Amino acid sequence: MIEFYRSLAAALVLAAGAVPSGAAHAVERDVSHDVRECQEDPRFGETGGAMIGDCLLEISEQVDAEIKRIIARSAKAYCRKEDRSLLVRTQSNWQTYRQGFCELVERSPGNTPAYVNSAACMLSAGRKRLADLAYIVDYGQANCPYQKLLLKDSRFGNPAGVSVEMSSMPLTWKARAQDDKLTLEFSRNERSDDSLIGNVELTGCIFCPDGKEDCDDGVFFTETYGVNSANHSMFYVCHMADGARRLEQFHLSGTLGPFKEREVTEEHGFAWSVDLRELKVVPTNSPRTLIRPDRAGDAQ
């Protein structure tokens, strides 16, 4: 096996004839194990050469899918349209930067080692992007003074088998699947009282897979702030067998079962967002905007 495949830093040496810098060593630690796995993968390693670059690009595509998933879900936490737009725009700018920079790497000087370097560039930049997204996922908090989506308590995708001890109120919710029926069960999570207080039947619901990049089906919780207290709601979003999409919203308390506040079913689907003061539903191919409390208006 050609020596430069042992690490990205070595590949840089062969491609550019230069001594690897400290930054190159940092990249080496990030992608060297991927290079070794590609060497050991019979689909790529037996041929070697540019196939190692193909292997790295395949891994990079998996990283990109995770980035897209995080971006899409993080956008749901932003209650201001301008913040959601900024997140999308900065992601697009990053994609443009990475594509251009790694293309330059490939063209320098345009041989097989440069192609491998470019593939490693795409992978390394993607991993760095994932790390940077922690600033909005783990450390940041959307500026939502009136209402916010509680991502920690919510779950995207099919909730079957999920059990969540809520951080926002003294409740635990579970999604129990039995005989093709899915039920959300809510119980108290106090030390001396874990009794069931209510449930919600998700009749006929079909959820997109949790790992799907643009999946925004699931079970979600919001917290709305009043003068002296906070109110909590739960809503679920799913598809139906006929292709329609449904949203049901319930008021929650720590002592009483879920109380239905709203139901929306749209034949051609809809997009949803938790805005500053409302849960907004925009039907597909329609000028209508449905918000809570229920009223129709022009799309915003």
Dist. CA 276–CA 202, nearest whole Å: 27
Q: Identify whether the C-beta of residue 140 lies closer than 8 Å to the C-beta of residue 148.
A: no
Q: Domain boundaries in the chain?
A: 3-139, 147-298
Cβ-in-10-Å burial (0-12, 13-18, 19+) of 222 comes to buried
| Residue 208, both tokens | 């997109």
Contacts of residue 70, Cβ cutoff 8 Å, sequence gap at least 6: 130, 133, 137
Alpha carbons within 13 angstroms on the beta-carbon side of residue 265 total: 9
pLDDT in tens, 148-158: 999 999 999 99
Q: Which residues of the chain have pLDDT under 50?
A: 1-29, 294-300
What are the residue ranges of helices labelled H in 18-80? 22-40, 50-77
Ranges of beta strands (E only) in the chain are 147-149, 155-156, 163-165, 171-178, 181-188, 196-201, 218-225, 230-239, 245-252, 259-266, 270-274, 279-283, 288-291, 295-298
Query: Using one digit for the tens of pLDDT, what is the confidence trace for 211-246?
Result: 778 899 999 999 999 878 899 999 999 999 999 999
- The amino acid sitting at 236 is Y
**pLDDT for res 14:** 32
**Spatial distance between the Cα atoms of 66 and 11, rounded to a whole number of angstroms:** 27
Q: What is the model's pLDDT at position 192?
A: 64
Q: Phi-psi category of 49—alpha, beta or left, where left has phi over 0 and alpha has psi -120 to 50?
A: left
- pLDDT in the model for residue 257: 85
CA distance 115 to 52: 9
Q: Residue 7 and residue 16: Cα distance in Å, rounded? A: 14
**Nearest alpha carbon to residue 123 among 160, 145, 106, 98:** 98
Interatomic CA distance for residues 22 and 157, integer angstroms: 42
pLDDT at 256: 83
